[in-house]
Amino acid sequence: MTIKQNVTQIQQRIQYYTAQAQRQQSAVKLLAVSKTKTVEDIYQAYQAGQTTFGENYVQEGIDKIAYFQQQNIELEWHFIGPLQSNKTRLVAEHFDWMQTLDRIKIADRLNEQRPYYKAPLNVLIQINISDENSKSGITPNDMLALATHIQNLPHLRLRGLMAIPAPTDDLQQQEQAFNAMNSLFIALQQALPEAQIDTLSMGMTDDMASAIKCGSTMVRIGTAIFGAREYHK
């Protein structure tokens, strides 16, 4: 199958799982995760109608962003990797979304460094929902304090939550983590009724069905679109 066909097939699977969960047809967006993949690969996905892409490495991401700007192709770019504080400026200047926000210090830097002529940077708070080995994400208990802080930063727009649960084939365990995320998402919406909290980013190639069943509004799919990755970093 080509990348173009893969995008179409994933869109169909999203529709299927969304219908099964009796959710609205447009409830779940597809983020194509293009880390380690070429601009030619991304272009093929674009030809299938895909316009939102996720990148994990800052420099690789901004090279691709620059390439498509030169081609006059307008895409939406999400930063989804771990971010060191010395690289916040590049994310603030070039990306549309930052999905892995888990520290006040990073939030403050992104807010200061977001160019005034651009729309506020959309951000998601990353929650460490089940992965004890991961250093990324905050605990559920810390969510509201960070959310309230972000609400006061004019150049950031808090849109919701993101999680990367510990990988497991056990559907019950998958659903446990995703249901916990959905409860936090609802709690956040209730705590900040004025904010535009509309995004719950969860679900990857191997667990997208459970994620959609449990309320995901954005699945982040790499392998099922672009094939396996060869790591060069």
Binding site for ligand PLP (CB under 6 A): 33, 35, 56, 80, 164, 204-206, 220-224
CB of 35 to ligand PLP, least distance (A): 6
Nearest residue (CB) to ligand PLP, 71 versus 221: 221
Closest chain position to ligand PLP (CB): 222
Cα separation, 74 vs 85, whole angstroms: 27
Going by their DSSP bridges, the two strands 218-221 and 76-79 should be labelled as unpaired
Nearest residue (CB) to ligand PLP, 121 versus 225: 225
Helix (H, G, I), strand (E, B) or coil at 1: coil
Nearest residue (CB) to ligand PLP, 117 versus 231: 231
CB of 194 to ligand PLP, least distance (A): 28
Return the structure tokens found at 36.
Answer: 């380690």
CB of 206 to ligand PLP, least distance (A): 6
Nearest residue (CB) to ligand PLP, 109 versus 220: 220
Q: DSSP characters for 26-79?
A: TS-EEEEE-TT--HHHHHHHHHTT--EEEESSHHHHHHHHHHHHHTT---EEEE
CB of 211 to ligand PLP, least distance (A): 11
Element (H, E) at 205: none
- Site of tokens 């996720």: 54
CB of 216 to ligand PLP, least distance (A): 12
